[in-house]
Structure 1
Amino acid sequence: MNLASVAGVLIAVSGRTKLVRGGTLNPAATGVLIAGNYGRRWPAQTTFTVGGVIIARRPAAWLLGEGRESLLRHELIHSTQYALLGPLFWPLYWLAALFSYLTTGSASARNIFERWAGLAAGGYADLPLSPRLDGLLRRLRR
């Protein structure tokens, strides 16, 4: 467990969640904790990952249930990203979110971490470049 995972547990506890070992409910989730019934307003996503902790607004069994395999896989990829980068994940993720926002108006569409985890699996749309940026790039190519 790295420092990001400790932060994930603290966030989960502050959101009054019930923590369970993912592998006890689904072998694919071995090695992560699932925090169900997250009660805070932010972030707005149905699920999000901090370190080795996947936090869900619904019960853990919901995330690990039938039909949500791609969402679970998306969150497991984020957990792997945290494992590789540790606390460096946060500034790199927010830089990627800023880049995405500036180029598309969405913090996710061009965020490399969300793209690697699978945009659609995480509930995000793949958006084109903003018209202003697209026009600038076209002018630069001339």
Structure 2
Amino acid sequence: MEWRYRIRRAVNFVNLSTLLGLLLSVVGRTSRVPGPHGLVLAHGYRYEFPVAGAFTVGNVVLTKHADEYLTEALLKHEGRHATQWAWCAGLPMLPLYLLSLGVSWLVSGDQASYNAFERLAGLEDGGYPRKPPRWRRNSSAPEGIIKGE
């Protein structure tokens, strides 16, 4: 394993985020297997929250799907989230991510399009569409007419 992944794994262990991910995997009754680059892949997550095909806490990638769901692109995306957990010193990632999710929702009506964490992890690799901001979408008014005039 490359040194950068070893460092990420150690940092996420020390900052307790991987331990939180492992706890969630036990509570969610997943099966856990070692994954690439120091990740732990937890399949069979039983809860509907959060609403995502896969999500990462520390170095643990949790999904309700079978192992073939985690494609190479999606694992790259989730691996970038593991790095974000390390950069955010662990648990502060939770409120920062939720704040970024809220901003994205206000801007685009979508949880990922303007979420800084999702954009930095690669929207396309995570399977997210890139939606325009609400104010740049086509309106029903004819071109050149501003609503409210």
**What one-letter code is carried by the residue in structure 1 that aligns with 2:17?**
A
Kindly state the Cα deviation for residue 43 of structure 1 after the two structures are TM-superposed: 1.7
Structure showing greater radius of gyration is 2
Letter in structure 1 aligned against 2:114: R
Tell me the percent identity: 40
Deviations 1:63-121 (CA, angstroms, capped at 9, x unpaired): 45xxx111110000000100111111111111111111111111111001000111111
1:74 aligns with 2:77: yes
Q: Report the TM-score, using the length of structure 1 for normalisation.
A: 0.80
- Among 22, 29, 34, the alignment partner of 1:21 is 34
- TM-score under structure 2 normalisation? 0.77
Instruction: Tell me which residue corresponds to 1:96.
Output: 100
Runs of 4 or more off by more than 3 Å in structure 1? none
- 1:109 maps to which of 110, 113, 122: 113
Indicate the SS of the match to 1:62.
helix
> Which of the pair is proportionally richer in helix?
1
5+ residue gaps, structure 2, are 1-12, 138-149
Any unmatched runs of 5+ in structure 1? 23-28, 134-142
In 1, the alpha carbon distance for the partners of 2:122 and 2:33 equals 25
